[in-house]
Chain A
Amino acid sequence: MTTLAPARTAAAKSPRSSTGAVSAHEKPSYLSTGILILGALYCLFPVIWVVAAASKDGNELFSTFTLAPSTHLWDNIAALTEYRDGLFWRWMANTALYAGVGAVMSTWVSALSGYVLAKFDFPGKSGIFKVLLMGVLVPGVILAIPQYLMLAQAGLTNTYWSVLLPQIISPYGIYLARIYAAASVPGDVIEAARTEGAKELYIFNRIAAPMMLPGLVTIFLFQFVAIWNNFMLPYIMLGDDHLFPITVGLNGLLNQGASAPALYTLVLAGALLSIVPLVIMFLLLQRYWRVDLAAGAVKA
């Protein structure tokens, strides 16, 4: 009550005394707008460049001004499609499988674990949560080699499973899900469902998960990008290039290009095609990117 009073009087006073000041402050600043636009151009530049570069044939790539587009985009895409019977599109499909299916499974496991850690009271809860939090800091480096050796013993290396399974567990995803569950699922609702005899898993899948949905989209996006971005794991696990995701595939193509520059046009067309789907997904889901890394840290 006492804290509210001064704020209210300030708010009551402010419209009259500061209208002039506010409009003066809201005058557009060319300097700050200019700096931001420079930053935006820096970030867009390689993308604009690859659109131009992917439209050139092998000679033009090394001879014409690099930002001038040419007319061979379609030829390059056709050549890329022909390369080893459409291997490139196989890589794209593999990437969609690894990142899409992997992120869905990861989101579900994170959501369920985060929900339990936020809404249940059970012995060992804080211990489990602390161990998980330490998992956030574990660098992937100490995991990759033993994961390879363990999966090799199980005969799973060089399969889809070897890339999918290790990336389902995401301590950071669980940490986020716990925050979302605590904030968006009221305890009364769970209690009400329980008194009506609903099973716990049903309550989670049908009642809690939909309430957490906006947060779950963020976890999904995080994990999607993390899997899509993870180069080392598939690079280690996979030997058969029919199982490669796009990153490992293009890296291999670039390596061959060092001795056969004709492949460079294919690499550039491939780079362009590979970023198109993700950029589209990004723009469509942009409003879910509200990343508050410190949200839990402040509350804890």
Chain B
Amino acid sequence: MAMTATKPGPAADTAAGTPRRAKNFKSRVLIPYAMLAPGIILFLVFMAAPIVYTLVLSFQKKKVSGLGLGKGSQSQVFAGFENYVNALTDPEFLGSVLRVLLYGLILIPLMLGFALLFALLLDSRRTRAGSFSRTAIFLPYAVPAVISSLLWGFLYLPGVSPFHFLARQFGVALPSLLDPNLVTFAICNIALWGGVGFNMIVMYTSLKAVPSEIYEAAKLDGCSEIQTALRIKIPIIAPSLVMTALFSMIATLQVFAEPTTLRPLANSLSTSWSPLMLVYRDAFTRNDVYSAAATSIVIAAATFIISFLFLRVVQKRAFGQEN
């Protein structure tokens, strides 16, 4: 603003009007868009187009004419909301949604609670062995979900598990976590193991960004460490807590790798245990991409609704506290 105001201005502008505007157009529009082109093209091809394509598929169905043999006998026809009605009334889908809700209700509070506890402990000056613990707790993030499910799967297997081995020495028979009633907890534990360290690092990073004078001042005012943690540190890193909660919820709705990997070890896991497994089965085992598309739109819509509701509620609460 100040720069443009001090320029001699109007006269010079009109003198060099057209070429400057042409140059402006090149540097203000063409160059930025040319440099954004790789990102925009990839976004359109691999994100925007697939979303539109899924929407289109979800309103179609396969029509079989005659015996359904040969190329011309199958065609796509408009199905209206039929696939959505089928998806939302399918007991298998509703069952998978309930299982994943239970899974999320157990997992997210535990994972974020432990992550916050560990982050606060790491941040405390009285804690020793901090860098060892930080590295060890973060390490599982480097292990892909398939591999961690495989490791825990063997640790749950009564014939191999050290827990069952020790229990047998004392004559106790432990229930197998791969039992139908317990397998949700088994999957929660795998996700907890894989996720707690990442969330801890996110929270710890934002704790480190707080200027230490604030803590000094709190200490001078006679705040104990626990009071400092509850009254100062947690409110300050609240944005990080919100983001980790949001990302955890999105990930929970999409759980796929863990139950898919556990299936060979646990007969109790069906091919429709989670909504995403159901989508996979419909699309690739049953060759019904139309139902699969409708189900995935339902999952995506639920993800968006939950995300926005969550952010609304959180914002309102934060806003209310400020007033």
Tell me which residues across on chain B come within 8 A of A53, comparing CB atoms.
154, 160
Tell me which residues across on chain B come within 8 A of A37, comparing CB atoms.
129, 132-133
Chain A, interface residues (CB within 8 Å), range: 35 or more
Given contacts A146-B57, A231-B260, A254-B264, contact A141 B42 (CB under 8 A): no
A-B contact pairs, 19 of them (CB 8 A): A18-B219, A35-B121, A37-B132, A40-B137, A44-B139, A46-B140, A62-B159, A113-B38, A135-B47, A141-B296, A145-B289, A150-B49, A169-B39, A171-B43, A200-B35, A229-B145, A231-B257, A282-B142, A291-B198
Question: A255 to B257, Cβ gap below 8 A?
Answer: no
Mark B233-274 against chain A: 1 for CB-CB distance below 8 A, else 0: 000010110111001001001101100110011000000000
Cβ-based interface call for B197 (8 A):
yes
Interface hit among B14-22, B24-32, B102-110: B24-32
Which residues of A130-144 are within 8 A (CB) of B? 131-132, 135, 137-143
Tell me which residues across on chain A come within 8 A of B140, comparing CB atoms.
43, 46
Cβ-based interface call for B125 (8 A):
yes
Chain B, interface residues (CB within 8 Å), range: 35 or more
Interface hit among B5-13, B179-187, B205-213: B205-213
Tell me which residues across on chain A come within 8 A of B297, comparing CB atoms.
142
Mark A20-46 against chain B: 1 for CB-CB distance below 8 A, else 0: 011001111100110111011111101
Question: A292 to B42, Cβ gap below 8 A?
Answer: no
Cβ-based interface call for A61 (8 A):
yes
Taking Cβ atoms with an 8 Å cutoff, the residues of A that contact B are 7, 10-11, 14, 17-18, 21-22, 25-29, 32-33, 35-37, 39-44, 46-47, 49-50, 53, 61-62, 65-67, 109-110, 112-113, 115-117, 120-123, 125, 128, 131-132, 135, 137-143, 145-150, 165-166, 168-169, 171, 174, 200-201, 204, 225, 228-229, 231-232, 235-236, 246-248, 250-251, 254-255, 257-258, 264, 267-268, 271, 274-275, 278-279, 281-283, 286, 289-294, 297-298
Question: A32 to B124, Cβ gap below 8 A?
Answer: yes
Question: A120 to B239, Cβ gap below 8 A?
Answer: no
Number of A-B contacts (CB under 8 A): 301
A36 CA / B295 CA spacing, docked (Å): 42
Question: A232 to B280, Cβ gap below 8 A?
Answer: yes
Cβ-based interface call for B193 (8 A):
yes
A50 CA / B155 CA spacing, docked (Å): 9
Partner of B128, one of A33, A117, A229: A33
Given contacts A143-B50, A225-B141, A231-B256, contact A42 B42 (CB under 8 A): no
